[in-house]
Amino acid sequence: MLTILTTISHWQDVKNAIASVDRLDELVSIVTNADDVQPSSKWIIVDNNIISKPLDWHDTEPPYIIASENYTDNNLLAFVFYSLGNHQKVFEYTSEGSSLYNNLLTATNIQFGYEISEEEYEDASIMKHNQCIINHYGNYANRVTLEQLAQKYEDAVETSENDELKIFTAKQYINLLIDVQQFSKAEALIHSLENSAISEEAKNALNVQLATVMMQQLEMPFDNEKLITIQNLFQNGITFYEKHHLKVNAGLLLIDASEIANYQQDFVASKDYINKAIQYFKEENIHEFLGEAGLRKATLLYTWSKNGQPQYYKPAINAFQDTLKVFKRDTHPQKFADIHHKMALIYSEIPVSPDEKPMWTAFCASSFKEALAFYTKDEYPYEYAMVSHNYATALINFPEAKLHNNLEKSFGLFEEALQIRNAEHYPFERASTLINQLELYWLLHNETGHEMKRLEEMNAKLNEIKTLVNDADMLEKVAFHETKLQSLKTLL
């Protein structure tokens, strides 16, 4: 639905223009009071003989700014059909070469990935924001480098004619920084803009982005105060979108809020968030977002199963398998790998009878291999180390194999993980891998005469862990192994 906000003096002209196209009035409402604009509606303003298009804070169109135009019936209809997404009809009401034609053509090309010509780029260059948008999102042959685009964005933000446009441009720049994982820079930019005199929509956009960049920077063990801050920001965003009847936007935030609640071990809240997201995506018939929500719910069931409710292991497996119908290897390779990684963990942990164990371990190994096929050591070192660590840990409890030694394979995967999980950059992760590797040491066969060497290696790892972390649970495990080692040394 589209709303045109106009004045009493323009109302009849606008009504006549809309009535000139058969049944267009079924898609367009005309109001003279801003309070009558539907919260979820796209809208156009006709005032003082000027047609203008408000900034789109809800990501329903490309963030390319369409310049205001003098009122004519044809110009109005071009704006209307562009806003309704009927791009073929747009150009029936504009003259080739006019500023409106060029603007709408460029915006349409960005939306559909069509090539943008040099002429279009030159026309857009009069507005620094639009020049950034073409280089960021457009199919333009002479796009600038990432560093140059960042400079263009910073210049556009700095020289914006008002705070509202400044935030709108900054929003796109922050999206770029998030995409290239420059999270601390994105967060600093958001904080620098917090005191600007801006609309409720602009403030919400900044707060949602702040929650996103803070969430992306979370590290284990989680800081509870940060989790609370992020959750409050997400909840405010959800409330804003629900108030404006923007269910898809609210649903996306509900997925993130569910994950934060899971980190907080508030499983009831996490379940409520994700079920609400699923409800919204079903109502809006958005299949891929339904897949995302299904993935979150599967993760939630898995978390429950790990926290004293093993009856949820199989429902979690079923839920993950359902998501593979959406996130396939050829269309969503990273999601596919992540799902298999989670399924592998479930297969390794699910309590089953000894007769069933070989079948589940086969499933487990297959899923770990699917994850490692995507998360290679060269391209995704952190994730490679994480999957290797988990695979190694799972192998400790595998039944004895006929064709290979599972314990030796486990040792090799732990060593692979430790190569990446170095003390400088990943102290907590390294300590976790060392602790799990110590569990393996107790199971490895000691050749005669090598017992003391093995004990020395174990003692060195225990001493290293104590230099890496102050975590009470981790240090308790260290103390357990030290006591066990001391007892063994006494026997030897």
Distance CA 308, CA 351 (A): 12
Q: What residue spans of 95-162 are helical by DSSP H?
A: 99-112, 118-124, 128-137, 146-158
d(CA 474, CA 468): 10
- pLDDT single digits (tens) 245-261: 999 999 999 999 999 99
Distance from C-alpha of 360 to C-alpha of 351, rounded to nearest angstrom = 10
Distance CA 317, CA 269 (A): 21
Average pLDDT, the chain: 92
Mean pLDDT for the stretch of residues 137-146 = 93
Asked whether residue 11 falls in the same domain as residue 115, the answer is: yes
User: Do residues 116 and 161 share a domain?
Assistant: no
As for how many domains the chain has, the answer is 3
Domain match, 70 and 185 both: no
Residue ranges of E strands in 63-113: 69-70
Mean predicted confidence (pLDDT) in 143-171: 95
Residues β-bridged to residue 70: 50
In a domain, 376, yes or no: no
Q: Taking phi first (over 0 means left), then psi (-120 to 50 degrees means alpha), and beta for anything else, what does residue 222 get?
A: beta
**Nearest CA to 431 among 479, 388, 463, 393?**
463
Domain stop point among 184, 217, 250: 217
> ω before 221 within 30° of 0 (cis)?
yes
Half-sphere exposure of 104 toward its Cβ, with a 13 Å CA cutoff? 31
pLDDT at 37 over 90: no
Nearest alpha-carbon partner for 294 in 283, 281, 307: 281
| Residue 56 belongs to a domain | yes
52 — alpha (psi -120 to 50), left (phi > 0) or beta?
beta
For residue 86, list its beta bridge partners: none
201-to-34, 100, 168, 208 alpha-carbon distances in Å: 15, 26, 10, 11
* 128 is a domain residue: no
Task: Report the alpha-carbon distance of residue 79 to residue 53 in Å, rounded.
Answer: 8
pLDDT reading at 141 higher than 70: yes
Distance CA 341, CA 278 (A): 23
Residue 304 lies in a domain: no
DSSP designation for 28: E
Residue 384 within a domain? no
pLDDT in tens, 191-202: 999 888 789 999
Q: What's the one-letter identity of residue 26?
A: E
Domain-ending residue, one of 195, 217, 239: 217
Q: 11 and 109 in one domain?
A: yes
If one compares 289 and 446, the residue with the highest pLDDT of the two is 289
Q: Which helix (H) or strand (E) holds 326?
A: none
Residue 491 has pLDDT above 80, yes or no: no
Cα separation, 59 vs 83, whole angstroms: 12
Q: Is the per-residue pLDDT at 450 higher than 70?
A: no
For residues 14 and 27, what is the distance between their CA atoms, to the nearest angstrom?
14
> Is 309 within a domain?
no
Tokens of 439: 């569990």
* Higher-scoring residue by pLDDT: 404, 337: 337
**Residue 298 CA: distances (Å) to CA of 262, 263, 337, 401:** 12, 15, 15, 31
Q: Are residues 83 and 46 in the same domain?
A: yes
Structure tokens at 22: 């058969």
| pLDDT surpassing 50 at residue 448 | no
Domain check: are 148 and 78 in the same one? no
pLDDT tens column, 193-232 = 988 878 999 999 999 999 999 999 998 889 999 999 999 9
Record the pTM. Answer: 0.71
Angstrom distances, CA of residue 203 to CA of 40, 63, 132, 167, 191? 17, 17, 22, 9, 11
Is 95 among the domain residues? yes
Residue 71 shares a structural domain with residue 33: yes
Contact 235, 243 (CB under 8 A): no
DSSP state of 177: H
Q: Do 115 and 188 fall into the same domain?
A: no
Strands 28-31 and 69-70: unpaired
Quick: pLDDT tens for 376-392: 999 999 999 999 999 99
CB 342 within 8 A of CB 320: yes
Q: Measuring CA to CA, how many Å separate 64 from each of 77, 84, 157?
A: 19, 16, 15
pLDDT at position 446 is 56
The pLDDT assigned to 41 comes to 73
- Asked whether residue 103 falls in the same domain as residue 212, the answer is no
Looking at the structure, tell me whether residues 161 and 104 fall in a common domain.
no
Statement to judge: residues 6 and 105 lie in one domain: yes
> Is 297 inside a domain boundary?
no
3-state SS class at 405: coil
Q: Cβ(466)–Cβ(475) under 8 Å?
A: yes
With 60 as the cut, is the pLDDT of residue 449 above it?
no
b/e burial code for range 193-202 (CB count within 10 A of at least 16 → b): beeeebeebb
Six token digits for residue 124: 């857009």
| Cα 131 from Cα 123, distance rounded (Å) | 9
**pLDDT tens figures, 333-355:** 999 999 999 999 999 999 999 88
Please check whether residues 112 and 17 belong to one and the same domain. yes
CA neighbor of 418 nearest in space, from 436, 397, 400, 402: 436
Per DSSP, the residues of 225-273 read HHHHHHHHHHHHHHHHHHHTT-HHHHHHHHHHHHHHHHHTT-HHHHHHH
> Which of 193, 217, 241 marks a domain boundary?
217
Domain enclosing residue 466, as ranges: 439-492
Q: pLDDT digit string (tens) for 352-368? A: 998 899 999 999 999 99
Residue closest to 156 by CA, chosen among 180, 176, 142 = 176
Residue with tokens 């770990």: 368
Residue 222: DSSP 8-state: P
